[in-house]
Amino acid sequence: MNVLYIHQYFKTPSEPGGTRSYWVSKELIAKGFNVTVLTSRSEVGSLPVTEQYIDGIKVIYINEQYDQSMGIGKRSRSFINFMIKATRVAFAQKDINIVIATSTPLTIGIPALLLKWFKRVPFIFEVRDLWPEVPIQMGALKNNLLIKLAKWFEKTIYKNAKHIIALSPGMQDGVVKYVPRSKTTLIPNMSKIDEFWPREKDFGLMERLGLDKDSLKVIHFGSLGLANGVHTILESAELLLHVSNIQFVFVGGGSQEKDLQDICVNKGLKNVKFLGNYPMKEISEIVNLCDISLVSFADIPILYTNSPNKLFDSLSAGKPVIVSSNGWTKALVEENNCGFFVNPNFPNELSDLLINLTRDNPLVDEMGKNSRILAETKFDKSILCELFAKTVVKTTNYGV
């Protein structure tokens, strides 16, 4: 059984970025599927299309530039260019039995839709964000005609998919406006308990990174884009300038990184460190050095449905998690006693909470242990990749 997996941002563990599609592909291969991933990579002077095998996965790279620092216009061009090129490459593949198309963006569903219409190849659509509602609510998509067109594409893709996988309860609710719930499966993002885990801290690395050994270190790792609402974290950091034992650590990059760094320079926020991008192995080491993880998003209702990688990696690492989305992640950390919710509109909530946590280390330790238990028992990739593979098997009747 041959699977074509279309994901514009496919990453392996040796690269910075989310690796969900990598782990799912590995599990599908273990179940007897042949997996071809169609993705993008930007390399100067590279051929338009290149192929290589990575850990048993055939990966086809389309040379198309994309990175998180791009503005809206450049991102849109990248999405459209990849859609056109991916459609051409997808149609050239032989003996494809099922397509898995994973958003974002919504345009990723177009090659799958065309393959169904013209070659009768069924597809599974994976919803990682509710497009076009996310760019609409964030103000990136304003043209009424384009909004109507995007919503028509969304509805058309959902209705034509053989099955839909949603990454959060809110995303699933968004999908079932158009299709029966029985056509959907909820599979959130995954913890990676063998990639992120609590262990002895590397104090040599801590010193090389310029981190204070005796401080309460609060880490935000992942994208630094508009959706992440990181500016409010800096407002909290400013309120804590008089507190010498709290340090904010940012790992990752994005469109807002330079602006955030300029704010820190202008306001003299010496309690904030930007460390840049790292592959997963190094990120795991840095997260282990820290005490608390921040999962921050702007206060926009559609973002309450998010299913962020950094949340589940934080659980694996055994860290208490502070979330700023008033949605299912708030309920998750509160009901499992592994973190807190703070309102991003009131920076003092975060600053006051952190001051209190510096006085209550047993609570930090207890919540960290609860995080690890939750990662091991409910969200580890061994559990959720198995569920994903079973969903594909059931959808295709492969081996049944």
Residue 260 near residue 231 (C-beta atoms within 8 A): yes
pLDDT value of position 21: 95
Of 113, 71, 95, the closest CA to residue 3 belongs to: 95
Where, residue-wise, is CATH 3.40.50.2000 in the chain? Answer: 2-190+380-396, 203-379
Could you say which of 3.30.43.10, 3.50.50.60, 3.40.50.2000, 3.40.50.150 is the CATH number of the domain covering 2-190+380-396?
3.40.50.2000
Which fold, 203-379? Rossmann fold (3.40.50)
Tell me: the pLDDT tens digits for 305-344?
999 999 999 999 999 999 999 999 999 999 999 999 999 9
Q: Which residues does the chain have with pLDDT short of 70?
A: 44-45, 67-73, 398-400
Segment 152-161, tens digit of pLDDT: 999 999 999 9
Q: Spell out the residues 6+ positions from residue 13 whose beta carbon is closer than 8 angstroms to its own.
A: 19, 22, 195, 279, 280, 281
Strand bridging mode 246-251 / 272-276: parallel
